[in-house]
Amino acid sequence: MAPTPQPTARVEELRRLLNRAAYAYYVLDAPEMEDPVYDRLYRELLELEQAHPELISPDSPSQRVGDSPSTSFSSVEHRIPLLSLDNAFNNSELEAWYGRLLKVLDREPGPGEPLPALAMVGELKIDGNALALSYEQGLLVRAATRGDGERGEEITTNVRTIQSVPLRLALEQPPAWVEIRGEAFIPDGTFAAINEERQARGEALFANPRNACAGTLRQLDPRVVAARRLDFFAYTLHLPPGEPAPTSQWQSLQWLQTAGFRVNPNAELLPDLAAVAAFFSSWDEQRRALAYATDGVVVKLNELRLQDAAGFTQKAPRWAIALKYAAEEAPSRLLRLSCQVGRTGVITPVAEFEPVALAGTSVSRASLHNADRLAELDLHSGDTIVVRKAGEIIPEVVRVLRELRPAAAEPLELPHSCPECGSELVREAGEAATRCVNSSCPAILRGALRHWVNKGGLDVDGLGSKLIEQLVDRGLVGSIADLYRLDAALLASLERMGSKSAENLVAALASSKSQPWHRQLYGLGIHHVGEVNAKALARAFANAAALASAASDSPELITAVYGIGAEIAQSLQQWFATPANQQLLGQLESLGFSLGATGPELAGPGAGLVGAAAGAETPLAGQTFVLTGSLPSLSRSAAQALIEAAGGRVSASVSKKTSFVVAGEEAGSKLGKAKTLGVPILTEADLLTLLDQSQP
């Protein structure tokens, strides 16, 4: 039976009153309703919704908490990539960023001319976790973590518990959709209270507010999230093409406030670079009085038109920079110098010192990188050192307090022989690295095996570091190829390995033989050949034989590949010329590895392009594509792979140099810009047709 008009009208009135009260309390920090009154109205709403469940709507205050715990989080693709920012740590690096920005905008000053002034917005960099919020017709429909920038974890139920995130936009005519980006965080006072409660219950304490926030957002029970009282600042929005939109970042912040979001009140509109430097300097001390953690400021070009013109690199927008404050420092006493041997034989000195608390964690080790850094620091036994976290993450030794050096302290230096195998260490002229060149060194072998089986390589599940150490230490594996000669009976006899685990590992190793050519190439661990370069090389060279031939006789074919330079070509030449590596390739081939493009890599649109002869002109070479919106059947990553396999390049931003824009449903502002610039627009069907036509 349909509800009577009376409860319907009362429910709507209660929602309006409660949402307005929550906005005043959590966003404006100006309560307009006493707690007992709020509680009474909230209870009335619950009673009406329980009596008339058909009246419950997604924007009701009752829907913020109370869902049953989730069992997992699904991965979702961001409508618009959620990229991270490049960092700068001082005014010199800020000026260098500004210079690059002027160059890409064709605004570089002439000789003797002052720097052109571009208006920018300075915002405090909140030390929390980035979120992407999706609203449709004004209602919150999805919330996701950053993830890898392209895909994140869908945590909508948890984000609904954050009182400063509106469930419905406070707009009379909301857009069809809008993407909001911002930072979830735990205020310092709330964090202290959470740790006090955990300590009283005998639970482990959280290291810092940022880690507590990240862990909270991934809680399976939204009631736990609600109890931890997260907060949220919004800072960016993306609207559909044709929608009335702000023309500047400053207007965007005002739009967000009008829509009901909490925006950090300390943002400033800055007329030039000098004002940015002053803003950064002024907050170095002021930030310590804030109720939440901030480790820097974010600087953004104000005009959105200029942001579009500046575009993006592969990882970050060119029009923004995170200007970070100097890391917290702490003194400690050096206990010893140890050395690690990497998979390429590089010896890395490591300082081990008495534990110190830095940025919320306990630190007792820091890499010293190489012999040059060791000599520069002039480390002696028993020295008192100053340690900090570079970028708030990686521990590093900043300097030595020589005035506290013990009498008769001896200088420290790298050993002359490998700490793992005893072989004499080598340092080539002009190189910073000191290496063990014994290819049979256990440390090098362990590193090579870990690299081969990792997720970017052959992705062998069940073969972790501990098991690799056992296999190498017992002499059961002497090369990558030996992994594929192991049987389940032998593996089951090892520590912490049962029969089922052994059988699963043998099956995983067998399955890994079908991994695509670019993963096999990356897994070989060739110096300077990372995942991205391996993909580029695998697209250009059909197999290991073609790549080896080019490395030996025609290195110019290698450097002709987009993104590949002379350093990589030289590294490939050295690797393929090494007899032990030639022997390894032969063994892998005899074990059933393709060491080239085959099977699925040669199927579908663009077939044959991956296996094209080395140096052949790829069909879409020199053409740049931009992807926007949701395609009917292809994910963004799948479409990008097809384009790149055909020699094309995928960019994150539209410019006059863009060859095509591939647009799907709910395409973003890129579609409008493409139309303005006259860039050809393709559907998914058009793209697949183009790829089919490009086949030889």
- Cα–Cα dist 177/623, whole Å: 31
> Which token pair is 529?
């050949």
Which residue has better confidence, 195 or 101?
101
For residues 459 and 601, the model is more confident at 459
- pLDDT value at position 609? 35
Q: Which residues pair with 426 in a beta bridge?
A: 435
Residue partners of 399: CB distance under 8 A and separation at least 6? 377, 385, 386
The phi, psi pair for 23, rounded to 5°, reads -60, -45
Q: Supply the pLDDT for residue 273.
A: 94
Which pLDDT belongs to residue 592? 92
pLDDT of residue 156: 93
Higher pLDDT, 18 or 246: 246
Would you call 125 a catalytic residue per the annotation? Answer: yes
Query: Which entry of 125, 389, 535, 673 is annotated as an active-site residue?
Result: 125
Token reading at 452: 């081969």
> Quick one: three-class SS letters along 158-227?
HHCCCCCCCCECCCCCCCCEEEEEEEEECCHHHHHHHHHHHHHCCCCCCCCHHHHHHHHHCCCCHHHHHH
Nearest to 581 by CA among 529, 542, 536: 529
Mean pLDDT of 290-316: 89
pLDDT at site 216: 87
∠ CA 29-30-34, rounded to 5°: 115
Rounded mean pLDDT of 374-386?
91
Least confident of 9-18, 40-49, 118-127, 180-189: 40-49
In whole angstroms, what is the distance from residue 345 CA to residue 342 CA?
5
| Two structure tokens written together for 599 | 């099977």
Percent of residues in the chain assigned helix, strand, coil, to nearest 5: 40, 20, 40
36-43: Cβ within 8 A, 24+ apart: 41/14, 41/17, 42/18
- Residues 6 or more apart from 618 whose CB is under 8 A from it? 539, 540, 609, 612, 646, 647
Number of alpha carbons in the 13 Å side-chain half-sphere of residue 590: 10
Give the pLDDT band (50/70/90) at residue 350.
very high
* Confidence band of 255 (pLDDT split at 50, 70, 90): very high
**267-271: average pLDDT:** 96
AA identity, residue 307: Q
Query: Comparing 314 with 672, which gets the higher pLDDT?
Result: 672
Q: In the predicted model, what is the mean pLDDT of residues 40-68? A: 74
pLDDT more than 90, % of the chain: 37
Q: What is the pTM of this model?
A: 0.52
Mean per-residue pLDDT over the chain, rounded:
84
How far is the C-alpha of 508 from the C-alpha of 82, rounded, in Å? 33
Q: Are 19 and 11 in contact (CB under 8 A)?
A: no
Describe the strand order of the beta sheet including 177-185 as a list of residue ranges.
Answer: 139-145, 129-136, 177-185, 231-238
pLDDT of residue 607: 34
Asked if residue 1 has pLDDT above 50, the reply is: no
Tokens (6 digits) for 109: 């000053």
Q: Is residue 568 within 8 Å of 623, Cβ to Cβ?
A: no
More confident residue, 176 or 651: 176
State the pairing for strand pair 660-663/624-628: parallel
Do residues 632 and 664 make contact, with C-beta atoms less than 8 angstroms apart?
Answer: yes
Show the domains of the chain with their CATH numbers: 5-63 (1.10.287.610), 87-324 (3.30.470.30), 329-426 (2.40.50.140), 442-512 (1.10.150.20), 517-602 (1.10.150.20), 624-693 (3.40.50.10190)
Other C-beta atoms closer than 10 Å to the C-beta of 364 total 14
Q: Is the pLDDT of residue 514 over 60?
A: yes
465-473 vs 442-453: helix axis angle to the nearest 10? 140
Q: What is the pLDDT of residue 602?
A: 47
The residues pairing with 626 across neighbouring beta strands, listed in sequence order, are 651, 661
Cα 507 to Cα 530: distance, rounded to the nearest angstrom: 27
Least confident of 67-71, 117-121, 180-184, 359-363: 67-71
Three-state DSSP state, 129: strand
Rg of the chain, C-alpha, whole Å: 29
Q: Which residues fall within 8 angstroms of residue 248, CB to CB, at 6 or more apart?
A: 119, 121, 302, 303, 304
Query: Hey, what are 107's tokens?
Result: 């605004």
What count of other Cβ atoms lies within 10 Å of the Cβ of residue 641? 17
pLDDT band at 390 (very low <50, low <70, confident <90, very high): low
Question: Given a cut of 60, is residue 578 above it in pLDDT?
Answer: yes
Residue 27 pLDDT: 56
pLDDT at 306: 93
Contact 177, 135 (CB under 8 A): yes
pLDDT tens-digit profile of 139-150?
999 999 988 788
What pLDDT score was predicted for residue 615?
Answer: 38
- Give residue 372's pLDDT: 87
pLDDT on residue 696: 46
**Is 486 in a helix, a strand, or coil?**
coil
**Which residue did the predictor score with more confidence, 207 or 595?**
595
Strands (E), 44-146: 75-77, 87-88, 120-126, 129-136, 139-145
Of 512-521, 548-557, 595-604, the least confident: 595-604
Cβ atoms of 577 and 571 closer than 8 Å: no
The answer to whether residue 534 scores a pLDDT higher than 50 is yes
Find the helix or strand (DSSP H, E) in which 555 lies: helix 555-559
Residue ranges of E strands in 368-475: 384-390, 394-400, 425-426, 435-436
Cβ pair 536, 463 in contact under 8 A: no
Could you give the CA distance from residue 23 to residue 377 in angstroms, rounded to a whole number? 54
What is the percentage of the chain residues whose pLDDT exceeds 70?
Answer: 90
